Structure 1
Amino acid sequence: MRALRFVFPLCAALALFAIVFAGDPPPAKKPWGPKEKKAFAALLQKYVAAEAKDRPAIMTEIKALEIAGDQIAKQLPTVFSVIMQNGKKSEGKGDNHTVLPERLFTDDQWKKDHKGHYLINGDSKAKQGKPLPLFIALHGGGKNSADAGGAAGQWAGASSKCIVVAPWVLEPLTEGEWNKDNEQEWLHLLIDEIKYTYLIDTNRIYVAGHSMGGYGSWGMGGHHPGLFAAVGPCASAPIVRYENGRVLYHEPGCLENFYNTWLRFYNCPDDTQVPVHGSRYADAKFKEWDYKIDGKPSWDYHEYQGIGHGYPPDSLGPIIDWMLARTRNAYPKKLIWMPTRQYRPYSYWLSVEEVPGNAGERCRIEAEIKDNVVDVNFTKFTPKVTVWLCEQLVDFKKPVIIRINGTEKFNGMMAPSFEVAVESAVQRNDSNMIFTAKAMLFDLPPVDPNGGTTSTGK
């Protein structure tokens, strides 16, 4: 695993109001020998393998080791090595099956075996220690016509540079559609499985597909911000409500959440299966919102004449090249996020304690970090937000200010914490997105009389 480098300034933590900051002042430097390494390795293994409810107690034991600042960066590769060791592995190249939670299936025909099915091909250097891009190729079709092999062939141009994974929908003969929540959770689990098996460059994960696969690409990109570098929906559209010649509204989050994700999509005016109005609506919205990455428009929309529901005249090669030329910025200073998936309650450096199941209750969060000032603004219900920070986002040598809807809630020093680094690594399984301090912007539950953390973090 390639080395991960961090700088952890020795700053004091300060908690005010109802904000909890993880990360006490770093301890004085202590010896770090075989005994300490062995104790840490055992606790780390225990923490990664534990259920979420049991992890806080184990983290208390890790904290008691008082890992010195000069050991933190050295131990992070070990953290990800243990994460990979404990993760569910893929069978390898070719035809694969993986057991999934029964709750993801709706039809008894598929619930009995509750397995996901997918193909893997791609770069032959996948297990030679070099992190590689991951390309998810989604098939089109409907009932009785799902064909992951076809998708693998259509996007084979990516296989010389990436690991290409082509999954089947969970219920290909009945109700499987990529834009459904259960199918997208399956894809999310699949991506984690591939990351547990191969060294993946998490700044270069891509998803694309044609027709229904394009709808799935819109859904995966729009409901999983921070996961993909670029998304390539073809002959498809975001989910919109169209009546009397105009779009009335779109599925919450499916467009807003593309703020930091590259997107290339196309449609055809004479496509009788996927009318062009959805794509034109998305293009107009991105123009209205002025979505940009590095000062350039973050989306690229094409309309092709005369291809119907087919492919561009120059095939998919230019789309693949366009996508692979783009990488994810793991630490953008500005976020726009509508939380929509309960199994992924985080986006870059924000997370929420719960995601409303009712689309009408979902909130829009806008957050920005500038000159050590963190502004978090939201509408509708008040989300229980946690802000995750690191040296790429703030200068820990200076005070950090946090404002919620314009009201200052915190102004003081924050300290990086190895415990937070481990927590964020396990939660996200992303070696390129590590956070070392966090601010929980809400009241904690009552203190457990048998121990635990108080609302001031003491």
Structure 2
Amino acid sequence: MFSGSLCVALVSALVSSQEVPDSKEQEALVTQYLAVDNHSREGHAQGLKVLESLAAVPFPGKRDLKRWDSFFAKYKKTLPQLPEKAGEYTDLDGGRGRYFLAGQLRRPSALFVGLHGGGVDSGDASSSRRMYADALTARGWLGIFPEVLEKTECGWTDSGTEEWVMSLIDRAIDTFEIDPDRVFLGGHSMGGYGSWVIGADHADRFAALLPSAGAPSFLENRSRGTINVQKGVVPNLRNTPMCVFQSTDDPKVGPKANQAAVRDLEVAKGRWGGFEHFEYWEVSDRGHGLPEGGAEALLAKIEGYSRESSPSYLVWQPRVDWKQQFYWLLWEGGSEVKGTVIAKVDRVRGTVDVRLERTQGKGLCVLLSEELVDMEGEVTVFANGVKVFEGVPQPDFATWVRGRALRDPGRAYSVRIPLQLAD
């Protein structure tokens, strides 16, 4: 095993020399890549340097692929696991990172992540557990109920909570061997806000979303009579099933924000299509509570969905700079929301068309696999109408490693095509 300092030195030497690392050096570099924090921009930057040093490695043949399969199988056994019993736990130093496990813990058929309500100086993960646990058990689903790291008005997207929640999901999938296509996110009140926003940031991770009595942030212009929902939410949800519950007599979270989000969604649907499995469930008599039938009625709305991991039409407004892969789009270096990326694949014609609105797109790449295109046929990629690639896609080792590291076949690709867009 190589020490961290030796790995850093190895990366620097190989990047500068462009030499092909030998098999031991390859394993050391892949080990270093697997150790980076993929929930931070700094971690992604470190990972890119490692991948650069692997770029010269030829794509493995069948024999070497079997060796790498064994390597990744051994690596998976070293990953940190969640407890395998229902109960209350803390995950971080100083008693932070409180969460509950409930529902079906032995061979669960799905994972539901339940986000609690609250706000400034309030919020308790046990409330979400009580709300959903029985209905999850009846379905054979596992429930994980995290608590915000800091109790603020937007606690689910403040102070590293979003990053931590996504890491919990990764570990839950590993620990309980959950199908990555059967991961659901929902929550009530502030948890509804979190379901909208985290669900949009990571729409490529979820089978369906279930916010209730909560909405994305918005700005209201009373003189104009308009409400503007925050950027980076509605467009990203084009391919993600979703049921939103709202009571118009809710004294805590009124209907304005969700109604505005639904209007924005209808506009987005008119522009880009999609949103086929979106349902807005509005009633007038439930206050700040759940609908009649409670969590059982809510879960019944989404239980039949599985994630569509490789849709042919994407719309992406990146909101957080550490979210670098969105389905088959990769934004190396990260991007805060400044515009919109619209990307389409036509498998019959073998074309990929990417267009950018109000953003330059430096570092933007397309990832390809057999699910999207015929990997043995010619593919043409366009960026803003300009041809940037034409030919038979060639898999590369660094991109393959990036995909294997995710431990999610639906997000693993073997071909990376930079769009060569400047600032």
The TM-score by the shorter chain falls in which range?
0.7 to 0.9
- 1:116 counterpart (76, 91, 97): 97
Q: 2:210, 2:68 → 1: CA distance?
A: 33
Shift in Å, 1:218: 0.8
**Correspondence for 2:213 among 235, 243, 247:** 235
Deviation at 1:69, TM superposition (A): 4.0
- Aligned partner of 1:317 in structure 2 is 296
Against the structure 1 CA distance between its residues 275 and 88, is the aligned structure 2 distance closer, same or farther, given a 3 Å change threshold?
Answer: same
The change in CA–CA distance for 1:116 and 1:90 in structure 2 (over 3 A counts) is same
Kindly provide the amino acid, as one letter, of the partner of residue 411 in structure 2.
M
Q: 1:125 aligned to 2:111?
A: no
Within 2, Cα distance between the matches of 1:329 and 1:92? 28
- The 2-side partners of 1:275 and 1:214 are apart by 13
What does residue range 323-334 of structure 1 map to in structure 2 within 5 Å?
323-334=302-313
CA apart distance, 1:281: 1.6
Q: Tell me if the contact between 1:259 and 1:292 (Cα under 8 Å) persists in the aligned partners.
A: no
In structure 2, runs of 5+ residues without a counterpart are: 1-22, 37-45
Question: Quick one: which of 50, 62, 67 aligns to 2:60?
Answer: 67
Q: 1:378 to 1:60 in 2, by over 3 A?
A: closer
Shift of 1:213: 0.8
Whether the 8 Å contact between 2:149 and 2:159 is mirrored in structure 1 is no
Q: Is the 1:259–1:291 Cα contact (8 Å) retained in structure 2?
A: no
Q: Does 1:200 align with 2:193?
A: no
Deviations 1:170-210 (A, max 9, x none): 124x6772243632222122222323433121111111111
- Tell me, in whole angstroms, the C-alpha distance in 2 between the residues paired with 1:443 and 1:241: 33
Moved more, 190-199 or 203-212: 190-199
Secondary structure at the aligned position of 1:203 is classed as coil
Aligned to 1:385: 364
| Structure 1: distance between partners of 2:313 and 2:221 | 34
Find the aligned partners of 2:77 and 2:301 in 1 and give their Cα distance: 34
AA paired with 2:202? Answer: H
Q: Deviations over 1:343-383 (max 9, x none)?
A: 211100001123444x5xx1100000002100000012211
Amino acid at match of 2:311: P
Whether the 8 Å contact between 2:241 and 2:277 is mirrored in structure 1 is: yes
Aligned to 1:5: none
Question: How far, CA to CA, are the matches of 2:32 and 2:230 in structure 1?
Answer: 40
Q: Tell me if structure 2 keeps the 8 A contact 1:377–1:405.
A: yes
Q: Is the 8 A contact 1:223 1:339 kept in 2?
A: yes
Q: Assess, with a 3 A threshold, how the Cα gap between structure 1 residues 431 and 292 changes in structure 2: closer, same or farther.
A: farther
Alignment CA distance shift 1:148-1:293 (3 Å): farther
Match of 2:123 among 134, 138, 146: 146
1:402 deviates by: 0.5
Superposed, 1:2-401 pairs within 5 Å as: 44-45=30-31, 47-49=33-35, 52=47, 55-56=50-51, 59=54, 63=57, 67-69=60-62, 72=65, 74=66, 78=70, 80-93=72-85, 94-99=87-92, 113=94, 115-126=96-107, 132-156=109-133, 157-159=135-137, 160-172=139-151, 177-180=155-158, 182-244=160-222, 246-290=225-269, 297-357=276-336, 359=337, 362-370=338-346, 371-383=349-361, 384-401=363-380
Q: How many pairs are equivalent?
A: 386
Hey, what's the Cα distance between the residues in 1 that align with 2:55 and 2:263?
A: 50
> Match of 2:410?
432
Structure whose residues are more often helix by fraction:
2
The answer to whether the 8 A contact 1:84-1:195 is kept is no
TM-fit CA distance, 1:47? 4.7
Q: Is the 8 A contact 2:52 2:398 kept in 1?
A: no
Taking a change above 3 Å as real, the CA distance of residues 337 and 326 of structure 1, as seen in their structure-2 partners, is: same
In 2, are the aligned partners of 1:256 and 1:338 still within 8 Å (CA)? yes
Q: Which amino acid aligns with 2:101?
A: I
CA distance in 2, matches of 1:288, 1:176: 26
Counterpart position of 1:103: none
C-alpha distance in structure 2 between counterparts of 1:250 and 1:77, whole Å: 45
Q: CA deviation at 1:134?
A: 1.5
Contact kept, 8 Å, 2:195 with 2:209, in 1: the verdict is yes
Could you tell me which amino acid in structure 2 is paired with residue 52 of structure 1?
G
Distance in 1 between the 2:304 and 2:89 partners? 29
Secondary structure at the counterpart of residue 118 of structure 1: strand
- State the superposition RMSD in angstroms: 3.1
- Percent identity of the aligned residues? 27
**TM-score normalised by the chain length of structure 1:** 0.76
Q: Are the structure 2 counterparts of residues 148 and 311 from structure 1 closer, same or farther at C-alpha, using a change threshold of 3 Å?
A: same
Equivalent-residue separation in structure 1 for 2:271 and 2:81 (angstroms): 37
Structure 1 unaligned regions, length at least 5: 1-35, 101-112, 445-458
Contact 1:170 1:176 in 2 (8 A): no
**Counterparts of 1:417 and 1:355 in 2: how far apart (Å)?**
21
C-alpha separation in 1, matches of 2:112 and 2:71: 25
Aligned to 2:10: none
Cα distance in 2 between the residues matched to 1:92 and 1:312: 32
Tell me if the contact between 1:239 and 1:250 (Cα under 8 Å) persists in the aligned partners: yes
SS in 2 for 1:432: helix
Q: Name the CA distance, whole Å, in 2 between partners of 1:76 and 1:265.
A: 43
Offset at 1:86?
A: 4.2
